[in-house]
Amino acid sequence: MSKRIAGPEIEHLIQLLAKVPGLGPRSARRAALHLINKKEQLLAPLAAAMDEAVEKVRVCSTCGNVDTADPCTICTDPRRDGATIIVVEDVADLWALERAGAMNARYHVLGGTLSPLDGIGPEELNIKALIDRVAAGGVGELIIAVNATVEGQTTAHYITDQLDGLDVKVTRLAHGVPVGGELDYLDEGTLSAALRSRTAF
């Protein structure tokens, strides 16, 4: 805004809100006004929740998940099958798999994918800790659930190479037609993979 219409505190709040994914400069203003109008019901509790997150959230030293406990809730949950580890690129993927609710396994968060052009080598990722976890024993299966991108697949191959000689079954997610997906909109690679991996009716 060209002219000063409010104290710098409100402008500052709007500028920071505009950096939150999903909000832009216009929706940040709207969000700020809404928060200010609901000061007691929303702004104060949200500020307190953020303060608490700043203070308490940490990265799990076992798996790389974010949580307020270390080791994280998943790593310490006795009902989880510790013999199965799902390897994901980041915490968002872990949350997505948990929403699917298909497995009761533990996780390992890599923190990205190998990308030599961006200077991201194996040391920048949480790979050594994964190998150590497997080498320590007790892991029967490693499900590599990285994205089906070139970087993801390169990372999967690198991890598989590093696991050579260790007694662990390594699997990956199936390729195929998304549930609810229409063939007409799918790329040739996915259709070919779905045909190759066809199953009996």
Residue 103 binds its own copies, judged by CB under 8 A: no
Among 63, 64, 74, 108, binds its own copies (CB under 8 A): 74
Report the site for its own copies in 24-43 (rule: CB under 8 A).
27-31, 33-37, 39, 42-43
Q: Where are the alpha helices (DSSP H) in the chain?
A: 8-17, 25-37, 44-56, 73-76, 91-100, 127-135, 150-162, 188-196
Among 63, 85, 86, 91, binds its own copies (CB under 8 A): 91
Among 63, 64, 65, 159, binds its own copies (CB under 8 A): 65
Task: Name the residue type at position 8.
Answer: P
Residue 69 binds its own copies, judged by CB under 8 A: yes
- Residue 164: HSE in the Cβ half-sphere, 13 Å Cα cutoff: 4
Among 63, 87, 88, 94, binds its own copies (CB under 8 A): 94
Residue 17 binds its own copies, judged by CB under 8 A: yes
Contact segment (CB under 8 A) with its own copies among 7-15, 121-129, 136-144, 174-182 equals: 7-15
User: Terminal CA-to-CA distance of the chain, rounded, Å?
Assistant: 63
Q: Where are the alpha helices (DSSP H) in 4-82?
A: 8-17, 25-37, 44-56, 73-76
What φ, ψ does residue 46 adopt, rounded to 5°? -65, -40
Strand partners, 88: 109
Cβ proximity to its own copies: between 77 and 167 the closer is 77
Q: Which residue has tokens 């709007």?
A: 14
**Site residues (CB under 8 A) for its own copies?**
1-10, 12-13, 16-17, 19-23, 27-31, 33-37, 39, 42-47, 49-54, 56-57, 65-69, 72-74, 77, 91-92, 94-95, 98-99, 101, 104
